[in-house]
Amino acid sequence: MADVERTPGFATLSIHAGAKPDPTTGARATPIYQTTSFVFDDVDHAAALFGLQTFGNIYTRIGNPTCAVLEERVAALEGGTAGLAIASGHAAQVVVMHVLMTPGDELVASKKLYGGSINQFNHAYKNFGWNVVWADPDDIASFEKAVTPKTKCIFIESIANPGGIITDIEAIAKIARKAGVPLIVDNTLATPYLCKPIDYGADIIVHSLTKFLGGHGNSIGGLIVDGGTFDWSARKGRYPMLSEPRPEYQGIVLHETFGNFAFAIACRVLGLRDLGPALSPFNAFLILTGIETLPLRMQRHCDNTQAVAEWLAKRPEVAWVSFPGLPKDKYHTLAKRYVPKGCGAVFTFGLKGGYDAGVRLVSNVKLFSHLANIGDTRSLIIHPASTTHRQLSDAQKIQAGAGPDVVRLSVGLEDKEDIIADLEQGLKVN
């Protein structure tokens, strides 16, 4: 009986996917290819590269060997067909929409998103003529109601920032399928260790690599994963960048040519090439190093966060805790389905003293760092209403889970007893 090829486990993929010893030097770690450009074999080789007739390196703005390992690794962890590394998570979203949308088009987006994404969708996208229609993940039917003939995609977060809300991915994926549009899932907070949205019907995954995938607060990056699940040619003219001849490439139709990884190709050769938000090879190297310990880090994050949330829920200064790992939380049932290994490291709670109490707490903690990031090895704290969500109206802040009493934590990898002790002394000052 022939041996069945073994599918590597998650931890193995985290270390090995996309990587191999350097063929010239034998270096085991992926080298940093800190170069702008690459020498062609000959004129024919150059012509084939520029004509998309062969794969290879041309210019680091379009692709780089260090970034290529990162792309393949994250795509493998997510169960996608291909990936594309981008300079930031925000830039990844712009590149995705650039391929999907034309002026006057709409995207349907969850109201429960990172405040920066809400701002980007509400304001920056208008300069491209792209419009957002908001839907409520607590009312799944609102997504279907928001769809119009102008809708080109639906956008959600698997675990929503800042409230740790679990989104019913599969239910929204069914609506996207019915509407004939792709479902895009920002999987930054969950990472593929906790949730693989493609398994539940997502078509495109975006990440801020800056957060848990990199994991050490030292590099900004973003990544797009093509799920390979969407038929870009099903509705003629709906997605012209993928289903119609491209004049930049001698009339090639990307979906016909590249099949189930055509979207990733389009993002690279039509988005990244022309918009230019390339990821630094050095940042790619640091993020790759972080991913090698992703399963170990994420489980420790989850275990620490569960303990901290349970402790906060019993404190007299705390009015409420929004964390799906708590049995009484409204998203607990969804959490057991989508993130059974843990609910991540980011959640919010409300202080009875409101806005002023939140400001005092972030000012008085010592172990926690007060800054606008998540997903670090260190424990982080912020008062969203006065910082990350400051640009939103009061109503938008509340809708986004960032009301005046809200404090957001990103629980790190320190000893949980030390994390709790720091919060305790900070609360006593209040």
Question: How many alpha carbons lie under 13 Å from residue 191 in its C-beta half-sphere?
Answer: 31
Query: For residue 424, how many other CB atoms are within 10 A of its CB?
Result: 14
Alpha-carbon span 150 to 100, nearest angstrom = 11
Q: Any idea what DSSP says for residue 278?
A: P
DSSP 8-state assignment for residue 271: I
- Tell me the pTM: 0.95
Q: Which of 141, 191, 422, 389 is nearest to 308 (CA)?
A: 422
* Amino acid 97: pLDDT: 98
Phi first, then psi: give them for residue 222, nearest 5 degrees. -140, 165
Question: What pLDDT sits at residue 2?
Answer: 52
Contact 175, 157 (CB under 8 A): no
* Residue 371: exposure state from Cβ atoms within 10 A (0-12, 13-18, ≥19): middle
Using DSSP's 3-state secondary structure scheme, residue 342 falls into coil
Beta carbons within 10 angstroms of residue 314's beta carbon: 8
Question: What pLDDT is attached to residue 3?
Answer: 60
Which residue type does 94 have?
Answer: V
Neighbouring CB atoms inside 10 A of 174's CB total 17
**Rounded average pLDDT per 10-residue block, the chain, 430 residues:** 76 97 94 97 96 95 98 98 98 98 98 90 97 97 98 97 91 98 98 98 98 97 98 93 95 96 98 97 98 98 98 97 96 97 96 91 96 95 83 75 89 98 89
* Domains of the chain and any CATH numbers: 10-290 (3.40.640.10), 296-429 (3.90.1150.10)
Rounded CA separation 104/343 (Å): 37
| Residue 32: both structure tokens together | 């940093």
Distance CA 191, CA 188 (A): 5
